[in-house]
Amino acid sequence: MYQSITNAGRLQDGLVPSDKSDRNENKSNRGGVFFSPSGVLLRPDWKSDDEVCYAKITVSADLIKVSVPQVKNRGKDAPASSGGVRKAITEFSRKSRKRLLERMCEIRDVDGGFFVTLTYPDKFPRSPHRWKRDVASFRKRFIRRYPNGGGIWRIEFKQRKSGENVQAIAPHWHIPVFGVTDSELEFRMWLREAWYEIVGSGDRRHLLAGTRADRIKNRRHAIAYASKYAAKENDDFYLMREDRRAQVGRFWAAFGNLDTSPVLETWLNYNQYVEYKRLVVKWMKSRKRKYARRLARQADNRGFSAFGLGGLSSEVWHTVWESAAIRMLAAAT
């Protein structure tokens, strides 16, 4: 059915286009738009106009997402169903952690990346509004210095074990940033001076020890870092007073220029979706993923995500058409 995928092995080597107009066309076309490695737009050859779009497949850099719209929304255009109105944020929920990890896996370019940690001195502000103001100031300074850069900030809380404010709950920030054009030494010097000025503590020890920056080695390293901090549930957060917890608001957010455009988007009918899901379960079992058994029992009217199965997950693949996610899609169709 999808001749553009099955014949991809005969296409000329190259890169998947990242032009914004091409990505918008990819999202708006009901049958999906496939890019050959040489940059040619390839449209699926649908059997008939009555073919039902049952499930939407989105292949990102290091993730595949399968969504199944509600029955009333399925059809020719098959728009995704709405998620409803969000409630006030009172905790770092499991769904929020999953969205954080998904956003991290969607980033296509990890060059110039660093894992940044920002901490407060012994005397730190107690207002959640001040905490968010500080990270907003850091975000603006970072974008001014690196216009093509971006990142994802994540707030975490720990109880102080020493100092004047022992047993107080203090925030700190984990921020993977990308697009840094300075050397490692230059970036570290800029980082500590910028954060020291933002906090304005006047404590010389905070200037020397208030920041940390570790270079991101590769995509696998970045995902491992995100998994570590996305899995934490902020146990010390619940030691704060209830009125202060209610003022914290969002626990993470992305900023700057992060290319999270999908490598490929398309729709499958029901039979193709069932076969694709079977192949994904088989892939998970081969890697001893605990989620595999649960996914195999999951009803077919629900979507799912598979981490580590994106179009750019492996550095061994020369083109995205060699990725396991694309080969599974070709086999299912």
- Summarised one tens digit per residue, pLDDT across range 73-105 is 444 444 444 556 777 777 788 888 889 989 999
> Chain-centre distance of CA 53, in angstroms?
26
- Say if 218 falls within a structural domain: yes
Q: Which two tokens stand for residue 331?
A: 């086999």
Q: Are residues 250 and 114 in the same domain?
A: yes
> Chain-centre distance of CA 58, in angstroms?
13
How many Å is the maximal CA-CA distance in the chain? 72
Domain that residue 80 falls in:
3-84+262-276+286-332
Question: Rounded mean pLDDT of the chain?
Answer: 78
**Tens-digit pLDDT profile for residues 7-49:** 333 333 333 434 444 444 443 443 343 443 333 333 344 333 3
Q: Are residues 252 and 267 in the same domain?
A: no
Question: How far is Cα 291 from Cα 287, in angstroms, rounded to an integer?
Answer: 11
Q: Are residues 220 and 248 in the same domain?
A: yes
Question: How far is Cα 212 from Cα 220, in angstroms, rounded to an integer?
Answer: 20
* Dihedral sign, Cα of residue 136, residue 141, residue 147, residue 153: negative
What is this structure's pTM? 0.76
What pLDDT is stored for residue 70 in this prediction? Answer: 62
Q: Which of 107, 120, 100 is nearest to 251 (CA)?
A: 100
Q: Are residues 140 and 238 in the same domain?
A: yes
